[in-house]
Amino acid sequence: MNPLDQNKAPIYEALRRFKSMRVVPFDVPGHKRGRGNPELTSFLGQPCMDVDVNSMKPLDNLCHPVSVIREAEELAAAAFSAKNAFLMVNGTTAAVQAMVFSAVKEGEKIIIPRNVHRSAINALVLSGAIPVYVNPGVNKKLGIPLGMSLESVRDAIEKNPDAKAVFVNNPTYYGICSDLKEIVRIAHRAGMTVLADEAHGTHFYFGDGFPISAMAAGADMAAVSMHKNGGSLTQSSFLLINNYISEGYTRQIINLTQTTSGSYLLMSSLDLSRKNLALNGKDIYKKVLDYANYARDEINKIGGYYAFGKDLIDGKAIYDFDLAKLSVHTRDIGLAGIEVYDMLRDDYDIQIEFGDIGNILAIISVGDTTLMMERLISAMSDIERLHHKSSIGMFDHEYISPDVITTPKEAFYAEKRSVPIEKSSGMVCSEFVMCYPPGIPILAPGERITKEILDYIAYAKEKGCFMTGTEDVNIDYINVI
Amino acid sequence: MELWYSENHSDDVKFSLRVEEQLYTKQTEYQRIDVMTSKEFGTFLTLDGLMMVAEKDEFIYHEMIVHVPMSVNPNIKKVLVIGGGDGGTVKQLVRYDTVEAIDLVEIDRDVVEVCKKFLPTVSAGLNDERVNINYEDGLKFVRNTKDKYDLIIVDSTDPFGPGEGLFTREFYGNCYRTLSDDGIMVNQHESPYYENYANSLIRAHRRIKGVFPIHKIYQAHIPTYPSGHWLFGFASNKFDPIKDFNAERWNKLRLDTKYYNTELHMGCFALPNYVKELLDNA
């Protein structure tokens, strides 16, 4: 058998062998195959507890893989056409942080769009790297931040020739892609590493008709959230590397912060999901695409809603669009996205990914069915029937360009004081403020607080967005330098 | 040899019938269909291992789901039946000369074919010329239809399979939109006794309450259904099933029924206290 036969799932197979050995455990975890916690065992099931085990010779070790985990990583690398792949069990957050830590050190610059996930800016707080923000374009009608236009990246590279890396969302939460291939070309010419946040891009590697994947575009590193729409368990993810990036150094960086007790539940879920996508990904994502396209058409027929797709593409800040994302603009029916999001859950028992001021996003993935799609569309239609109203007076702006005063690290660790948020206009913020999800900071440490930002925060709070990031859980007070 | 069909009515309660012969089995795109014969209940159909219709006691369910709304509004002309691929509901409906059109929306074509073949006495009405069958998800149908109906009968399976979408607010909301101003919606409303079924009952009631101003529950006793105690929902913008009921008018039609009668109509809306309590808390 070919050693890189994608039918294989080495971790899963090793766990099955291990189970049949009936080894007596005198190691951790102390629940000892669930016997020590009967209530949990009855809740999660015996098969689950049986494989919640510790690293050992037959099962390899995530920190220093030499056997089955190594094989699983090699199979994953082949499946993603990467030079190396790393199993990640601390979330895609850990993968994003590992990318940033390995590409830039304290005081070094990284070119980064401002609409990144908090995990990227958190990595800057920890590492002390300096962000050079590229303003993502904004679609005024939808109020969403877009991708980076080639001109703005070129401009940032020219103005910051000493920058070490360029960070790209591929795609953004809303499904928008930058011209990654060309960004890679100009970044490499300037000697910079290209890091791709592919938290929402797993399917780019397996389906047809999607935007180009980071590895295919020649990027150097990519963080791929297998759990988001690839079918693995929550918190499991892949880090991919390419080109000249060192495998050993990347592993060292990962091991700085990642757990030494890697969960075999998570690892086996990565192993089996990789196998499933490598073997069946084309068909699976064809179905996903059909569902998403059907839903988009049907939702647009309801009237009032705008389920956007490739029609947004402008060749610049929207170079490509991921059609597997079902993003719907709701403001024209007089409802904020967050309001539709809440109604779907409270009145219709439908949980979608997020709602922001003007849009909602539903994740369509490997696990959906025709009947479930129909429920979502019908619920949207019923909400429109019952709640349609004028959109006059609704906030129509989402992205606010940041005024960066100091680095995230300096601002976060600086001497700070807490002030009532409404009185903070003009001051420099020392912490994050964001709606979660999507988790894109409205304010990041080191940025000037403006009246416009405060109005936005007040509006988001009023509409029921779940705000996080500040030390004060109610976001009534904010830490400033 | 003994051959038994068993169905779990709860995790710890089983209901069994001695089977004489299994006539049919098939896993369709949506569900598993089985047809068997039994001495006690005649030929019966199960979907995903749950009893749907049995020749001998089907009259109870079908008379109650049809004659209750038909006797409240005698002007019903256009009827939509969601589910009901066995044809039993349609069989009762076509007895009314005043009904002009019946649209039946059944997701699974095989159910209709199988019932036509093995349950001809139940499915006979499907051949009536006023009947038009659509093979489609009921939720999708009500969302898209431009027609208005005087009566919608939700004759669905339990909400644990393809029928799940028919117990949702989005479904009831779209039904509301599809009804004429004096329209009535009647739905099979599960059983109050076993917890699993009672939960479905509560959820459905809560959803219907949020959509229709008039919403009442009535009951029947059906030997082959879990606990034997089965409920139906009556919802409308305009008609109250008791106040707007005219017994004399219906009796003049001289329809011969085995379960339904006009005294029972008045009585079936009187519910046991524990059921009232369930509904009050919904």
Place A393 in a pLDDT band, splitting at 50, 70 and 90.
Answer: low
Pairing of strands A84-88, A237-241: antiparallel
Residues contacting residue B231 through CB under 8 Å, at least 6 positions apart: B189, B190, B191, B192, B201, B217, B218, B219, B275
Residues of B in contact with A386 (CB under 8 A): 173
- Interhelix angle A370-387/A264-302, rounded to 10 degrees, is 50
**Scanning every residue of chain A, which has its alpha carbon at the shortest distance from the alpha carbon of B161?**
A371
**HSE (CB half, 13 Å, CA atoms) of B261?**
4
**Which CATH number among 2.30.140.10, 3.30.420.40, 3.40.630.30, 3.10.110.10 corresponds to the domain B4-54?**
2.30.140.10
| Exposure letters A123-139 (e unless 16+ CB within 10 A, then b) | bbbbbbbbbbbbbbbbb
The CA distance from A403 to B151, in Å, is 62
How confident is the model over A284-292, as a mean pLDDT?
Answer: 95
| A397 pLDDT higher than 70 | no
Most B-contacting residue of A294, A298, A375 (CB-CB within 10 A), to test interface: A375
Q: Does A6 touch chain B (CB under 8 A)?
A: no
Alpha carbon of B136: minimum distance to chain A alpha carbons (Å): 11
pLDDT tens-digit readout, A60-92: 999 999 999 999 999 999 999 999 999 999 999
Residue A465: its pLDDT value, please?
A: 79
Give the gap in angstroms from C-alpha B272 to the nearest C-alpha of chain A.
28
Question: Is there a contact between A381 and B140 if contact means CB atoms under 8 Å apart?
Answer: no
Q: Give the least confident one: A251-265, A343-357, A450-464, B92-106.
A: A450-464
Query: Which one of the listed residues B86, B103, B155, B158 is annotated catalytic?
Result: B155
**What does the DSSP 8-state code read for residue B29?**
S
Domain ranges of chain B: 4-54, 58-280
Question: Hey, is A150 helix, strand or coil?
Answer: helix
pLDDT at A139: 81
Q: What are phi and psi of A464, to 5 degrees?
A: 95, 20
Does residue B149 contact residue B178 with C-beta atoms inside 8 Å? yes
Residue of B210, B111, B199 lying closest to B155 (CA atoms): B111
Pairing of strands A109-113, A130-134: parallel
Q: What is the average pLDDT across A25-45? A: 95
Q: Which of residues 386-405 of A touch B (CB under 8 A)?
A: 386
**A85 in Cβ contact with A239 (< 8 Å):** yes
pLDDT of B282 reads: 82
Beta strands B229-236 and B179-188: pairing type? antiparallel
- In sequence order, the β-bridge partners of residue A88 are A237
CATH class for the domain made up of A408-480: alpha beta
Could you tell me which CATH number the domain at A281-387 has? 3.90.1150.10
Task: State the 10-residue block means of pLDDT for chain B, 282 residues long.
Answer: 94 96 96 96 96 96 98 96 96 97 96 97 94 95 94 91 87 94 95 92 92 96 96 96 95 96 97 95 84
Task: Answer yes or no: same fold for B4-54 and B58-280.
Answer: no
CA distance B166 to B155: 9
Instruction: Indicate whether this complex's ipTM tops 0.90.
Output: no
> What are the DSSP E strand ranges found in A82-160?
84-88, 109-113, 130-134, 138-139, 144-145
The span from the CA of B17 to the CA of B41, in Å, is 8
Q: Is A375 in contact with B140 (Cβ distance < 8 A)?
A: no
Mark yes or no for CB contact B165/A382 under 8 Å: no
CA distance A348 to chain B (A): 6
- Res A182 pLDDT > 90: yes
More confident call, A4 vs A48: A48
**What CATH code is assigned to B58-280?**
3.40.50.150
The first and second tokens of residue A276, run together, are 């499933």
Residue B282 burial (CB count, 10 A):
14
Where helices occur in A303-407 by DSSP H, the ranges are: 337-348, 370-387
Answer whether 0.95 is exceeded by the pTM.
no
Q: What is the pLDDT of residue B103?
A: 97
pLDDT at residue A1 greater than cutoff 60: no
**B54: closest CA of chain A, how far (Å):** 28
Find the residue in A nearest to B142 (Cα): A378
Q: How far is CA B197 from CA A305, B57, B166, in A?
A: 36, 20, 15
**CB < 8 Å from B in window 346-365 of A:** 347-349
User: pLDDT of A145-164, one tens digit each?
Assistant: 889 999 999 999 999 999 99
pLDDT at A244: 93
Known catalytic residue at B48: no
Nearest to B107 by CA among B86, B82, B144: B82
What pLDDT was estimated at residue A6? 96
Residues of B in Cβ contact (< 8 Å) with A347: 169, 210
The domain limits of chain A are 281-387, 408-480
The arithmetic mean of pLDDT across residues A131-144, rounded, is: 83
Whether B83 and B163 have beta carbons less than 8 Å apart is answered as: yes
* Residues on chain A touching B177 (C-beta within 8 angstroms): 382, 385
B161 in contact with A, Cβ within 8 Å: no
Letter for the amino acid at B108? D
Q: Among A210, A205, A206, which Cα is nearest to A175's? A: A210
CB contact under 8 A, B139 and A348: no
* A300-349 confidence digits (pLDDT tens): 999 899 999 999 998 888 999 999 999 999 989 999 899 999 999 999 99
How far is the C-alpha of B107 from the C-alpha of B138, rounded, in Å? 7
- pLDDT (mean) for A361-380: 92
Q: Does B209 touch chain A (CB under 8 A)?
A: no
- Residue B168 and residue A379: Cβ atoms within 8 Å? yes
